[in-house]
Structure 1
Amino acid sequence: MIPSRMEFSSRAATGLRVLLGCLSLAVFVACDDPGSEPSKSTPITQARTQENGSTVTVEGYVTVVPGNFSSALGNEGFALQDNTGGIYVKLAEKLDFGLGTRVRVTGKLNDEANLRILESESASVEKLEGTQLVTPKEVRTGDVKESTEGLLVRISANVTRAVHEELPYGYELYVDDGSGEVQVYVHGSAGFDSETLRALSVGQRIEVTGLSAQYESTYEVAPRQPSDLVVR
């Protein structure tokens, strides 16, 4: 079995990395076991500040579908976002819902390779009524950092380093709009054509929509599908 990108991150010699998120959201009531007291969802930005191991319930709209980043993360998780922030949800079992699906999730907070995550189980993910696609936040490449982590963002910049393959995990390249260089990480499981990625050249301007994430000390934008990367 091929180790995940996260498993490789614990081995200093590998150099492989992992990635791997603003719409209105009311406060809803999450029902636990029958007969238990209902608990309110916590705004995602507030939940992200709680200690590792804390159990929280959050609610939002899906910005990365289940399993989209499985090649590098080694799990079948997804990302969601409310009007305060976003977060990646780690799951072992792949669920079936699309972008914009409204979900409620209960899980435990943790960090993996410095990426803030919510570890959960499929039974703790509830699909709610209503769908709404999240509009990506337009940001400068130099502003992709801790304050944007977990959000769906969009950058437009010039390629500064040609594509580097680290399959089966994915591909990495770097871009800069003049405000600072940032990495674009294309997961092998996101459906991109390798020849199209290899054709990107230094100096070419591209627009990338994706999850603002972090791998150790590197901030990155991870596109979810081929249409998220457009050559200008």
Structure 2
Amino acid sequence: MHATLRRPLPAIALGLTLFGSAAVAIAAGASIQDAREAAEDTPVVVEGVVSVPSGTFAPNDEGFAIQAGKVGIYIHDSMGQTLELGQTVTVSGIVGDSYGQVYGVYPDSIQVTGTHPVHPAKPMDTGDINEDSEGRLVRVRGTVMDAVFDDAPYGWVFHLDDGSGETTVFIYTGAGVDVSGIEEGDEFEITGFSGQFLDHYEVNPRSQSDIVER
């Protein structure tokens, strides 16, 4: 099964947005879960720990992900900053998706506020990677079902199944992963961001250490 070729994220004009007092009252302190449930173009403020460093999903974008407890969300742009694992951030912006993909925040302000241990990945069955897990770190283990497909320049894709149903593993070029050791029939444990592309859900590893042969 070949992957659908990735496409660059749509260009969005992002500037400093001054929310009205009513909007600020609604958005200030809004949790990640609140943001995930908000309608598109709703102004929000989210806080969390960086779970995916900025640039990991390049060349698709220069975004990053944050997580707070059991919920996470993607931030579609880093605004020129380098965001690292374990940094705590406060992000304001508007919610929206990209080509029907991961629902997240298009930021107009990103503030690093400190550091915190990265929230652990949730062990999951491959068949359970879906909308409910989207945005957080997950860990799956199963058999590689096909040869790794080179979806240049965006990355590489293959499918993993533990008997509960296949999930897609998409490794972005920005993750800097060597995929030469991944072959059909091998068993791997994959840690990564629970994401979505078009009509399917996937796990996106962040680095070589997220891909372990078993």
What TM-score do you get using the length of structure 2 for normalisation? Answer: 0.86
CA RMSD of aligned residues (A): 2.2
| Contact 2:93-2:106 at 8 Å conserved across structures | yes
Corresponding letter in the other structure for 2:93: G
- Does residue 216 of structure 1 match 2:198? yes
Secondary structure of the equivalent of 2:5?
Answer: coil
Assess, with a 3 A threshold, how the Cα gap between structure 1 residues 183 and 161 changes in structure 2: closer, same or farther. same
Shift of residue 94, structure 1, vs aligned partner: 3.0
- Does residue 179 of structure 1 match 2:179? no
Corresponding letter in the other structure for 2:175: A
Secondary structure of the equivalent of 1:70?
Answer: coil
CA distance in 2, matches of 1:19, 1:148: 24
CA distance in 1, matches of 2:160, 2:70: 27
Structure 2: 5+ residue runs without aligned partners?
10-16
Q: 1:44 aligns with which of 11, 32, 39?
A: 32
Range with bigger deviation, 158-167 or 95-104:
95-104
Q: 1:104 aligns with which of 64, 85, 90?
A: 90
CA distance in 2, matches of 1:91, 1:97: 10
CA distance in 2, matches of 1:80, 1:18: 23
Give the number of equivalent residue pairs. 199
- When you count helix as a share of all residues, which structure comes out higher? 1
CA distance in 2, matches of 1:223, 1:217: 19
CA distance in 2, matches of 1:132, 1:92: 20
Corresponding letter in the other structure for 1:85: V
- Does residue 16 of structure 1 match 2:2? no
Matched with 2:145 is 160
Q: 1:66 aligns with which of 29, 49, 54?
A: 54
Matched with 1:130 is 115
Corresponding letter in the other structure for 1:111: D
What TM-score do you get using the length of structure 1 for normalisation? Answer: 0.80
Secondary structure of the equivalent of 2:188?
Answer: strand
Residue pairs, 1:141-156, within 5 angstroms: 141-156=126-141
Matched with 1:82 is 68
| Contact 1:159-1:201 at 8 Å conserved across structures | yes
